[in-house]
């Protein structure tokens, strides 16, 4: 019987790709006078490539962009700071995220969030998306001093919600950070399918929508 479910945030509960696509569009409008004539469409698509679904270093990504455009390196720093300033204003949870969390809680299942990232950025996102009342624990890598796929962050999350690994699932989109990390910690690893990562070898189940978890747990 499943007693606890851990969730990744970006790409799992939160539509991060949709958020940064909108952000990069707004950023081009804000900086278009100094971006060397690159079109908004090309700017957005190139930044999505360099962002690598949130797994690239942001300052490095912007630095590469300005070098490709032959622009001053200081612009890369300005774009980086602009991203950090406005990012919390963009994006939404996936359509079935909140309803799925509510249904799991109604079934008496403990829920924890385990996310890599900056404490200020991720904590603000959790609050803005309305996730906080639905979580029994929130672990952010910078605050904990441990990053996925390190099994210790999964073990710490289980300790905080009082559930043993054999009775817990972890749901995430990244093959290594989420699936391999959870598997190594002894949890049932659920891959939330995304088209841009390779299929994990050690997944226990694959879901395409978060709402599938409810019926999966009931089987």
Q: Final residue of a domain: which of 34, 63, 89? A: 89
Between 89 and 211, the more confident residue is 211
The fraction of the chain above a pLDDT of 90, given in percent, is 95
CA angle (53, 122, 164) in 5-degree steps: 95
Q: pLDDT value at position 151?
A: 97
Over 80: is that where the pLDDT of 119 sits?
yes
| Owning domain of residue 59 | 16-89
Both 137 and 40 in one domain: the answer is: no
Q: Which secondary structure element, helix H or strand E, spans residue 20, and what is its range?
A: helix 16-31
In tens, the pLDDT along 132-167 reads 999 999 999 999 999 999 999 999 999 999 999 999
Q: Final residue of a domain: which of 61, 89, 117? A: 89
Q: pLDDT value at position 136?
A: 98
User: Which is it for the CA torsion 79, 82, 84, 90, positive or negative?
Assistant: negative
Q: Which secondary structure element, helix H or strand E, spans residue 110, and what is its range?
A: strand 110-115
Both 113 and 137 in one domain: the answer is: yes
Over 90: is that where the pLDDT of 218 sits?
no
Both 167 and 61 in one domain: the answer is: no
CATH number at residue 185: 3.40.50.1000
Both 85 and 117 in one domain: the answer is: no
pLDDT mean over 56-61: 95
Q: pLDDT value at position 28?
A: 98
Report field, pTM of the whole predicted structure over 0.95: no
Q: pLDDT value at position 89?
A: 87
Give dist(CA 180, CA 190) in Å, integer.
10
Both 191 and 107 in one domain: the answer is: yes
Q: pLDDT value at position 148?
A: 98
Over 80: is that where the pLDDT of 65 sits?
yes
In tens, the pLDDT along 187-200 reads 999 999 999 999 99
Q: Final residue of a domain: which of 28, 58, 89? A: 89
pLDDT-based confidence at 117, cuts 50/70/90?
A: very high
Give dist(CA 93, CA 134) in Å, integer.
13
131 CB-near residues (< 8 Å, 6+ apart): 13, 93, 97, 98, 101, 113
């Amino acid at each position: 019987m499943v007693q606890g479910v851990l969730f990744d945030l970006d790409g799992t509960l939160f539509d991060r790709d949709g958020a940064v696509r909108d952000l990069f569009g707004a950023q081009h409008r804000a900086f278009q006078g100094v971006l060397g004539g690159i079109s908004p469409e090309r700017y957005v698509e190139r930044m999505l490539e360099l962002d690598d679904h949130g797994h690239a270093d942001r300052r490095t990504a912007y630095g590469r962009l300005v070098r490709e455009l032959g622009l001053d390196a200081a612009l890369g720093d300005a774009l980086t700071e602009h991203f950090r300033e406005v990012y919390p204003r963009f994006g939404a949870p996936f359509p079935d995220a909140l309803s799925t969390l509510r249904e799991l809680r109604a079934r008496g299942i403990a829920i924890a969030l385990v996310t890599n990232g900056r404490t200020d950025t991720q904590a603000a996102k959790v609050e803005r998306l309305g996730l906080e009342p639905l979580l029994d624990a929130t672990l952010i890598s910078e605050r904990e001093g441990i990053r996925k796929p390190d099994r210790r962050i999964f073990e710490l999350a289980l300790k905080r919600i009082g559930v043993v690994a054999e009775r817990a699932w972890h749901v995430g989109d990244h093959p290594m950070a989420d699936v391999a990390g959870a598997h190594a910690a002894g949890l049932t690893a659920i891959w939330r399918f995304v088209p841009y990562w390779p299929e994990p070898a050690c997944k226990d189940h694959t879901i395409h929508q978060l709402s599938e978890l409810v019926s999966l747990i009931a089987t």
